[in-house]
Amino acid sequence: MKVLVTGAAGFIGYHVARRLAETKRCEVLGVDNVGDYYEVALKRARLAALAAIEDFRFVQADFAEAEKFAALMAHFKPEYVVHLGAQPGVRYSMENPVAYTHSNLAGFASVLEACRRTPPKHLVFASSSSVYGAGAKSPFREEDNTDQPVSYYGATKKANELMAHSYALNHGLRITGLRFFTVYGPWGRPDMAPTIFARAICEGKPLKLFNHGKNLRDFTYVDDIVDGVVKVLLYPPAESPTPPMRIFNLGHHRPVETLLFVKMLEQLLGRSAQVELLPPQPGDMFETCADLTRVQAAIGFTPKVPLEEGLKQFVEWFRVYYQL
């Protein structure tokens, strides 16, 4: 089958594209603009690894360029689309909202319109646990009110869900949105906690923990996320009742305090951290925890990788890639 994956040079996009291409049953086309929000060398290294797989091809393009992306879709005619491309980062959305408006709002509108013109069997897109904002109670359930996201990033992801609902209702597109919860693992982004913490520990630099290290995060290993994405992809929502659109949480359901997370990294790296405990940051959520009842009932999704094993895999990759 033919699958188009946006954000293929990104963290989750790389892993999803790899899993699909290695099945020998998928022809995978990766799309990414290879932007410089974080080090381009890491994105190029991911793409180099993907290039070695026979059933993977790559096009460098910005999916927010509507006519060009629609033409690409019309030419490739994918049966399935996995839209993982986006401007990531909660805190950065407070500094540069224009980037999020371009990629997450205009970009997603471009993807939806291209799918309307060349309809796939199923469009799966990345939402985020950041849609759960003020007043959210743990564990977060898909039916909870998500009208008060704390960050602009979360607001764009909430908007994506509403936009997808509109296209499913009015155009019959089969769409699934996945709310990811703090994904980590090999090839992870350098602006995310595992890499930031590991680098600070290895380089003997101060490690800043906001909210005094008491934030709770539902750390989810990337292989579990990929399992969920691929299973969901193959089971589109039913055409009726309308609209054929649904939302699932994908997480681990076992939140861990960030201070404990750091201690686990210290043990695996064999070094001590110079921790600075600081007040909460604007836009941060104090706790994330995914209720998995809905996705377990729909596709039997259950995370398998415990944090201890996942962090071990991450540290092994981290040491090799960064030579630390």
Q: Give the start-end residues of each E strand in 122-184.
A: 122-128, 175-180, 183-184
CA dist., res. 312 & res. 309, Å (int):
5
Could you tell me if 83 and 125 are in contact, meaning their C-beta atoms sit under 8 angstroms apart? yes
In the numeric block, which tokens belong to residue 211? 């909210």
Q: Please state the φ and ψ torsions of residue 122, each to the nearest 5 degrees.
A: -160, 135
* CB distance 80 to 2 below 8 Å: yes
* Amino acid at the residue 154: G
Tell me the sheet residues that pair with 3. 28, 80
Type and span of the H or E element at 107: helix 107-117
Average pLDDT of each block of 10 consecutive residues along the chain (324 residues)?
Answer: 98 98 96 97 98 97 98 98 96 94 98 98 97 88 94 96 98 98 97 96 95 95 98 93 93 96 97 94 83 97 97 98 94
3-state SS class at 40: helix
The whole-angstrom separation of Cα 320 and Cα 294 is 38
Token pair for 294: 């809905």
Q: Which helix (H) or strand (E) holds 92?
A: helix 92-95
Work out the number of other CB atoms within 10 angstroms of the CB of residue 38: 18
Exposed, middle or buried, 61 (CB in 10 Å: 0-12/13-18/19+)? middle
- What whole-number distance in Å separates Cα of residue 268 and Cα of residue 187? 17
The 10 Å Cβ neighbour count of residue 269 is 18
Strand, helix or coil for residue 31: strand
Catalytic pick from 14, 38, 92, 153? 153
DSSP class of residue 131 equals G
- Please measure the distance between the N-terminal and C-terminal CA atoms of the chain and give it in whole angstroms: 40
Q: Known catalytic residue: 153?
A: yes
Instruction: State the DSSP string of 43-67.
Output: HHHHHHHHHTSTTEEEEE--TTSHH
| Domain annotation for the chain: domains and CATH numbers | 2-181+220-252+291-300 (3.40.50.720)
CB atoms within 10 A of CB 105: 17
* Model pLDDT, residue 53: 97
Output the pLDDT for position 65: 98
